[in-house]
Amino acid sequence: MSESRNNLKRILPGLLISILLIAVILYFVDIKTTMDALSKANYVLIGIAFVLSFIWLTVRAIVWRTLLRDKPTFKDVFFTEGEGYLLNNFLPFRLGEIGRAFLLSRKSGGLTFAEIIPTIVIERVVDLIISAVVFLAALPYVVNSESSPTLGYVIGGVMVFGLVLLYILARNNQWALDLFHKLSARLPALQKVGGSFLESFFQGLGVLTDGWLFLRFLFWMILNWAIALLAYYLMVLAFFPDAQPIWAVFGLGMAAFGGAVPSAPGAVGTFEGAVVFALTRFTTDESTAFAAALTMRLYNYLNSTVIGMIGLTSEGQTLSGVYKQLMNFRNKEKAEETS
């Protein structure tokens, strides 16, 4: 019972933010106009964008597999990537990140959960750095203020600092391990569990010390973002034929930051709010902007639902089953830390 209450307390703030934003959006938009915009949209462009969503997921799997030093098969990484995004879309606590590390560790055989987690951390940090760059690139076209890029610079700076810190830890892993053992000497249980985890964690961070491998990772990551930008631009054009590429650039940058705000699973409300806000910097038609945001929502759900469900079904898994396994895994980790 106490565990359920704790989970509810963790979910509640995000749910409230999502509900509030959905209410605000529905207050400002005209649903009839939104439905009319959806019916008159250019579905050829939307169809191309939806095809690109599967290409995007394919490249994203290459990104992750590069960080994993090509140890797992592409098939395992591809379907696990889809499963992870599916979990994020429908389950709380952003379980997709933990979930894909957990699921891949059971498929690959040679990789542990602790070795996989750092690759996801690196991937997410670089995602945030690129999103900050995209946001900053578009900002001068949106507001004419010299102080406006400050937030983007701060966010980008923090992310770069985080990446540099990870690199320092990767280069000085033995020193970090010795320091951890020294500080945790009076907590044997923590030392036992944490020491084992950190050894695997630092092994996973080793990708940062391999220059050629990291350059390959950056190439695929930038290509991945370029595909997303193209797809978003096509979806914006489907509703606003006179739209400029900067509309999609700012929209994607805002959507990336919107996904980081606490919310219901799948960034419901925060994603739509971010996209509508971005597009209405260029147009006064909130209702059509909302139609574009709903289409982008479907774009985000399409590949993960199709690929993720194929992966789970082929493995004899269900969303509820994976959720229970992850909760058991998390509770087991907590129990080991406190024992």
Question: Which range in 58-62, 129-133, 303-307 is most confidently predicted, on average pLDDT?
Answer: 58-62
Average pLDDT over residues 304-319: 89
Asked whether residue 27 is domain-assigned, the answer is no
Report the alpha-carbon distance of residue 106 to residue 119 in Å, rounded: 16
Question: Would the pLDDT of 10 be above 70?
Answer: no
Average pLDDT over residues 95-116: 83
Question: Would the pLDDT of 332 be above 80?
Answer: no
In the chain, how many domains are there? 1
Domain that holds residue 174: 32-338
Asked whether residue 6 is domain-assigned, the answer is no
**What rounded mean pLDDT belongs to the chain?**
82
Average pLDDT over residues 137-160: 64
Secondary structure string (H, E, C) spanning the chain: CHHHHHHHHHHHHHHHHHHHHHHHHHHHCCHHHHHHHHHHCCHHHHHHHHHHHHHHHHHHHHHHHHHCCCCCCHHHHHHHHHHHHHHHHHCCCCHHHHHHHHHHHHHHCCCCHHHHHHHHHHHHHHHHHHHHHHHHHHHHHHCCCCCCCHHHHHHHHHHHHHHHHHHHHHHCHHHHHHHHHHHCCCCHHHHHHHHHHHHHHHHHHHHHHCHHHHHHHHHHHHHHHHHHHHHHHHHHHHHCCCCCHHHHHHHHHHHHHHCCCCCEHHHECHHHHHHHHHHCCCCCCHHHHHHHHHHHHHHHHHHHHHHHHHHHHHCCCCHHHHHHHHHHHHHHHHHHHHC
Instruction: For residue range 182-221, list pLDDT tens digits in order.
Output: 777 676 666 665 666 666 667 666 777 777 888 899 899 9
Q: Higher confidence at residue 64 or residue 266?
A: 64
Question: Would the pLDDT of 149 be above 80?
Answer: no
In order of 8, 215, 234, the CA distances from 11 in angstroms are: 5, 38, 34
Range of lowest pLDDT (40-44, 109-113, 146-150): 146-150
pLDDT at 147: 47
Question: Which range in 152-166, 208-222, 226-240 is most confidently predicted, on average pLDDT?
Answer: 226-240
Binned at pLDDT 50, 70 and 90, residue 167 comes out as confident
Question: Would the pLDDT of 94 be above 50?
Answer: yes
Instruction: For residue range 254-288, list pLDDT tens digits in order.
Output: 888 776 676 667 778 788 898 999 999 899 999 99
The percent of residues above 70 in pLDDT, for the chain, comes to 79
pLDDT at 159: 65
Question: Would the pLDDT of 249 be above 60?
Answer: yes
Give the largest Cα separation in the chain, rounded.
67
Q: Higher confidence at residue 165 or residue 220?
A: 220
Asked whether residue 223 is domain-assigned, the answer is yes
Asked whether residue 25 is domain-assigned, the answer is no
Asked whether residue 11 is domain-assigned, the answer is no
Asked whether residue 10 is domain-assigned, the answer is no
Question: Would the pLDDT of 11 be above 60?
Answer: yes
Asked whether residue 162 is domain-assigned, the answer is yes
Asked whether residue 26 is domain-assigned, the answer is no
Range of lowest pLDDT (101-105, 111-115, 290-294): 111-115
Question: Would the pLDDT of 47 be above 60?
Answer: yes
Question: Would the pLDDT of 336 be above 60?
Answer: no
CA nearest neighbour of 89 among 313, 263, 275, 282: 263
